[in-house]
Amino acid sequence: MTLKLHNTLTKKAELFQPLDPELVSIYSCGPTVYDHAHIGNLSAFITADTLRRVISANNYTVKHVMNFTDVDDKTIRRSRETYPDQEAMDALRTLTHTYGELFLEDMRAIGNDTDALEFIKAADDSTIEGMRQMITELHKAGFAYIADDGVYFSIDSYKKSGKTYGQLVEITDSNTSEQRIQNDEYDKDAAHDFALWKKQKPSEPAWEFILDGIDLTGRPGWHIECSVMSHQGLGRPFDIHTGGIDLAFPHHENEIAQSTAGQDDPTYARMFVHNEHVLVDGKKMSKSLGNFYTLQDLIDHQVDPLAFRLLVLQSHYRKPTSFSLANAEAARNRLANWRVAAALRHQTHDTIADDSEKKVSLRAAPHALLEALNDDLNTPQALMIIDRAFAELESTPLASIHRHSLSTLLDMIDSTLGLQLQSSTPDISDDQKQLILTRQRARDDKDWRTSDTLRDTLLDQGIVIRDTSHGPVWQYAY
RNA sequence: GGCGCCUUGGCCGAGUGGUUAGGCAACGGUCUGCAAAACCGUGUACACGGGUUCGAAUCCCGUAGGUGCCUCCA
């Protein structure tokens, strides 16, 4: 079993070989916690979660770090608007804590395992201290310079040290708006130089920072946050860096530059795995276009958050996903059908009447599923395998379905795809089972009135009875 | 302007030189105490124009349309 992943650094699918076979290291760019996440944001985390699940399914132990960007322009601006009476720092903490918690709720709702993640916050004291140290080192080594509004990273110095800027996205003269190098002491030297640290502006939260005897009290730049947090969480280099494709440039490119400037090892992360966007009407879902849905919007439209997860998994992570409520409904129906199959495990047995070779797809499915996922997370292929296996179940009498085979497949689905088919379909109560038996006896006696009444009773409890030629089968009503 | 990507049947969405992807929806039929389900059947799919090839949705060139990044963005 070998796992292949597409690496943005090489633009190719590569065999995944961890630096340390005992512990795979993954860093995922997390949310900026200034507002509710929209479902486009969430889709990136579904991809990251699925990636970790698949690596785990290959029997690796994984350390998966995700950051909270809880200090930047947007969090500061929003916190001042929302809590104008609080001190700047308190307002920032209040706002980011609130949305951080809401984010975690959304994560769990869409099936992402937050317990498997280690979260690091940019505004934590230890992170800030790490950033001060890193900036100080970069400055000492000549890769950073002090301007009147902050500290900048010099891409020119970086390139002169023999490193490559433009590993993820090709940087050409024509797509940089300006690349003249002027050694002004107090200005951003080149258009692409980016801020490592920004000096405090009036009524902004700030942390002390003295560099080269100059008081630079202020706050970190965006890119340095992730370099420091990944370093603190995973060391350097680490195995896989994930994020939305929009982060490839400049964010990840800049992370690479900061983290490898002056280092002997030119590697920051071995692989970058980037997911494509969720589209609405063919356009990227974004706050600025206003064409976004939050998870709550979906719930208001009766879309199960896990159906949204299935919708995301229905398309390959490196292809855009078209979102519409109609598509969400299709995913919801597909998930409902899968839950019907999952509920069958309570109605089957470990010993089966006939062990014919009919259930080929069911038995082969767990292995085929992992094989598909190991092929650069080919979730659409994986879903097809599941559909085939479940379709086979529907035409198979309960007595001929081996419970163990079904449970094995469900375990594989839930562990790799996180669809929670089993926890969403618990067994029915003994009373309810008795009702089904009583109803069946009434049917045998052709007492339709009693049997229909009992069927309605069960329906009121959310359970649907299907009378097959092999006897009654129950499922949850959706 | 620079660097990319995309265009598959009603909708979504895999495939990527020759063999039915799959889902959702729709229509017809069988079965059924009723209901539900199930089962069987039904769709002249690969943007357009050239080229390569025994053979192209798949490779090459061009055209059209769409879209992403280059500024905060998952």
Q: Digits of tens for pLDDT over chain A (478 positions)?
A: 699 999 999 998 999 999 999 999 999 999 999 999 999 999 999 999 999 999 999 999 999 999 999 999 999 999 999 999 999 999 999 999 999 999 999 999 999 999 999 999 999 999 999 999 999 999 999 999 999 999 999 999 999 999 999 999 887 765 554 433 333 333 567 778 999 999 999 999 999 999 999 999 999 999 999 999 999 999 999 999 999 999 999 999 999 999 999 999 999 999 999 999 999 988 999 888 889 999 999 999 999 999 999 999 999 999 999 999 999 999 999 999 999 999 999 998 887 766 554 566 788 899 999 999 999 999 999 999 999 999 888 878 888 888 999 999 999 999 999 999 999 999 999 999 999 999 999 999 999 999 999 999 999 999 999 988 788 999 998 8
Burial class from Cβ neighbours inside 10 Å (0-12, 13-18, 19+) for residue A290 reads: exposed
8 A C-beta contact, residue A421 and residue A389:
no
CA-to-C1' span, A288 to B73 (A) = 9
Spacing of A31 CA from B52 C1' in Å: 49
Do residues A349 and A397 lie in contact, with contact meaning Cβ atoms separated by under 8 Å?
A: no
At A106, the amino acid letter reads D
Phi/psi zone of residue A197: left (φ > 0), alpha (ψ -120 to 50 degrees), beta?
beta
Q: Which residue is nearest to nucleotide B12 (CA to C1')?
A: A327
Give me the residue label for tokens 């433009």.
A166
Structure tokens that stand for A384 in this block: 């097809």
Q: How far is the CA of A296 from the C1' of B18 (A)?
A: 49
Predicted-complex ipTM score: 0.95
CA of A321 to C1' of B41 (A): 32
How far is residue A79's CA from residue A83's CA, in Å, rounded to a whole number? Answer: 6
A52 vs A224: CA distance, rounded Å: 24
Give me the CA A319–C1' B49 separation in Å, rounded. Answer: 27
pLDDT at A176: 53
Nearest nt (C1') from A317 Cα? B74
Nearest one of A444, A379, A367 to A412, comparing CA atoms: A367
CA to C1' distance (Å), from A158 to B4: 25
Considering only residues 211-240 of protein chain A, which place a Cβ less than 7 A from any atom of strand B?
Answer: 222
Residue A24: alpha-carbon gap to chain centroid: 17
Contacts of A354 (CB under 8 A, 6+ apart): A399, A400
Determine contact, residues A412/A423, Cβ cutoff 8 Å: no
Q: Within 10 Å of residue A15's Cβ, how many Cβ atoms?
A: 8
Amino acid making up residue A88: A
Nucleotides of B under 7 A from a protein CB: 1-4, 6, 11-15, 21-25, 31-40, 66-74
The pTM assigned to this predicted structure is 0.95
- Give A304 CA → B25 C1' in Å: 19
B33 nearest neighbour residue (CA to C1'): A448
Residue A165 CA distance to nucleotide B56 C1' (Å):
39
Instruction: List the A62 CA – B59 C1' distance (angstroms).
Output: 40
d(CA A365, CA A99): 40
Name the nearest CA neighbour of A239 among A215, A194, A269: A269
Q: How far is the CA of A331 from the C1' of B58 (A)?
A: 28
> What is the spatial distance between Cα A305 and Cα A108, in angstroms, rounded to a whole number?
9
- In whole angstroms, what is the distance from residue A30 CA to residue A52 CA? 15
One-letter amino acid of A258: Q
Inter-helix orientation angle A379-394/A403-417, to 10°: 160
The phi and psi torsions of A145 (rounded to 5 degrees) equal -135, 155
- Cα-Cα-Cα-Cα torsion A254, A130, A34, A206, nearest 10 degrees, comes to -110
Q: Residue A187's pLDDT is what? A: 54
Distance of CA A443 to the CA centre of its chain: 49
Predicted confidence at residue A288, as pLDDT, reads: 82
pLDDT score for A469: 78
For chain A residues 339-398, those near strand B by a CB cutoff of 7 A are 378, 380-381, 383-384, 387-388, 391, 394-395
- The three-point CA angle A266-A268-A273 to 5° equals 130
pLDDT value at residue A144: 96
Q: Which of residues 54-113 of A touch strand B (CB under 7 A)?
A: 69, 72-74
- Nearest nucleotide to A40 (CA to C1') is B74
Using a 7 Å CB cutoff, list residues 166-185 of A near strand B. 169-170, 172, 174-177
Strand B contacts in A 403-442 (CB under 7 A): none
Residues 277-336 of A with CB under 7 A from strand B: 277-278, 282-288, 314-316, 319-322, 324, 326-327, 329-330, 333-334
At residue A149, the pLDDT reads 92
Radius of gyration of chain A (CA): 27
Task: Locate A446 and state its tokens.
Answer: 């052709």
Nucleotide nearest to A223 (CA to C1'): B72
- Residue A447 CA and nucleotide B57 C1' are separated, in Å, by 58
CB neighbour list of residue A326: distance below 8 Å, 6 or more residues apart: none
